[in-house]
Amino acid sequence: MNTKLLVTGGCSFTMPDENSPRKWPIQLADHLDVPFINTALQSQGNGMISRKIIHQITEILKTNNASDILVGIMWSGPDRHDFYLNNNDKNIDNHPDYLHTSLSPTTNKKWIILNAHWKNHYAKSYYSTFHDDIGSLIYTYEHILRVQWFLKLHKIRYFMTTYMGTVFYNQNKLFQNKILRHADTAHLYNQIDHDQFLPINGQYEWAVDTGLPFFPCKYGVDDHPTTEHNEKFVNEIIIPFLLRKNYI
């Protein structure tokens, strides 16, 4: 099949940075020799990943054929959340303790990103009052499913993976069994098309198994895969998967 455009989504494992300027979307686009649009942002959770992909693809389909598009998504931590704030809170503008984003670069940043370890008042309020581990998994599975159904509706080729195994808790069999039996999660988990996922637990776990060194940083060692990891990831995991699926 002839891919003419690659669209990707994820968190910091998918967004290039100074330590790893050539992460997997760039290297995959180079391999396919196509332009790409990357909707990734550091620290964003699966809600924003799903919304940005759906919004971006909706815009692209106005001028492109679905058969020309390939989508790749690396899902992030279930405990990352977001909410929409229509009235801009001037306290968050250019404030280092807050991160806000939008569905596209041309729209106002009205989505506030929340992470469990952040100390700003929105994060502390949410995680002390509303956060629940099972609830977080429910939201994540719903985000995955709506993107899955959206892409299949439009007959768009896609693949998915996770930044760490914690997205599905694959590395903790007891917890995974609990999720698979839980009345509020099992019906969602079982509708996910796992055949569309790369055959790994998560990119982080895969990177550890390669034995390649991670990038040292002021806190010790950065847990984000390096450019070398990402090159190997594309060549040994993504490309063979796409070939088996007859996507390229």
- How far, in Å, CA of 67 to CA of 234, rounded? 22
pLDDT on residue 67: 97
Asked if the model's pLDDT at residue 202 lies above 70, the reply is yes
Give the residues across from 7 on adjacent strands: 37, 71
- How far, in Å, CA of 117 to CA of 208, rounded? 24
pLDDT on residue 216: 83
Residue with tokens 């429910």: 138
Q: In what order do the strands lie in the sheet with 99-101?
A: 81-84, 111-114, 99-101
**What's the distance, CA 94 to chain centroid?**
24
Residue 146 φ then ψ, to 5°: -70, -35
Max mean pLDDT range (14-28, 48-62, 131-145, 185-199): 48-62
Contact status, residue 41 vs residue 115, Cβ threshold 8 Å: no
Contact status, residue 68 vs residue 3, Cβ threshold 8 Å: yes
Work out the pLDDT band at 222, boundaries 50, 70, 90. Answer: confident
DSSP track, 220-241 = EE--S--HHHHHHHIIIIIHHH
Indicate the average pLDDT of the chain. Answer: 91
Residues present in the chain in total: 248
Contact status, residue 17 vs residue 225, Cβ threshold 8 Å: no
Average pLDDT over residues 63-81: 97
- How far, in Å, CA of 150 to CA of 146, rounded? 6
pTM: 0.93
CA distances from 61 to 55, 75, 106 (A): 10, 23, 18
pLDDT in tens, 87-123: 766 656 555 567 889 998 888 888 999 999 998 889 9
